[in-house]
């Protein structure tokens, strides 16, 4: 059986900003009852700091059916990381023409400068020729790099309004990455 995660990644914050914002994000999720602290952490079945709270359905319509068994925790991560779609990766789409903007190999070549040097490259779309920052390319099956993320392990699809609300709390450039391993 595979694992999957829905990751909301804020790509514009510095490490210091992300650390401060992580506390705000945790409080926002806890106050709404979307998550609750995980009192019985287990390295295999419940490694996350948080688990689904009593109002989890505010985040995901099917949460009451899906969440609860196995590893269905939530983590707030304030550490610079690559958040990658892994097995279901697809090259991102151009925000102007909706075509694949860049090849997989060219896209992956941007990881190290973005991760280590904090250089978010501008990408010229191979289809329409217009430029966009790599973080503005579309696609939840892609990757993003950021210092703040909220990871929903094995949750059903999140509600659009919840993603928008949590994204507004996280910061101005919050992106979604869905991974399957």
Q: Calculate the CA 114 to chain-centre distance.
A: 16
Give the span between the Cα atoms of 84 and 132, in whole angstroms.
Answer: 19
Entry pTM: 0.94
DSSP characters over 23-39: HHHHHHHHHTTSEEE-S
Q: Give the model confidence (pLDDT) of 32-83 as tens digits.
A: 999 999 988 887 778 899 999 999 999 999 998 887 667 889 999 999 999 9
Give the span between the Cα atoms of 133 and 105, in whole angstroms.
Answer: 17
What number is the average pLDDT over the span 84-108? 95
Confirm if 139 and 92 have CB atoms less than 8 A apart: yes
Beta-carbon count within 10 A of 32 CB: 17
Confirm if 28 and 169 have CB atoms less than 8 A apart: yes
> And the tokens for 106?
């060219």
Give the span between the Cα atoms of 75 and 29, in whole angstroms.
Answer: 11
Confirm if 171 and 21 have CB atoms less than 8 A apart: yes
Q: Give the model confidence (pLDDT) of 109-168 as tens digits.
A: 999 999 999 999 999 999 999 999 999 999 999 999 999 999 999 999 999 999 999 999
Confirm if 83 and 145 have CB atoms less than 8 A apart: yes
């Amino acid at each position: 059986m595979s694992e999957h995660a829905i990751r909301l990644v804020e790509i514009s914050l510095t490490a210091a900003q992300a650390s401060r914002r992580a506390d705000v994000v945790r409080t926002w999720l806890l106050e709404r009852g979307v998550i609750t602290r995980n009192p019985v952490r287990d390295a295999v079945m419940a490694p996350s700091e948080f688990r689904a709270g009593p109002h989890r359905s505010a985040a995901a319509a099917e949460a009451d059916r899906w969440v609860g068994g196995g590893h269905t925790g939530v983590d707030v991560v304030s550490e610079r990381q690559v958040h990658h779609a892994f097995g279901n990766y697809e090259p991102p789409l151009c925000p102007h023409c909706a075509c694949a903007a860049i090849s997989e190999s060219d896209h992956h070549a941007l990881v190290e400068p973005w991760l280590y040097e904090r250089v978010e490259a501008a990408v010229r779309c191979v289809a329409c020729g217009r430029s966009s920052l790599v973080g503005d390319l579309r696609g939840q099956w892609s990757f993003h790099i950021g210092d703040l993320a909220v990871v929903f392990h094995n949750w059903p699809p999140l509600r659009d309004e919840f993603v928008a609300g949590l994204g507004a709390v996280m910061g101005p450039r919050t992106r979604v990455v869905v991974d399957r391993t």
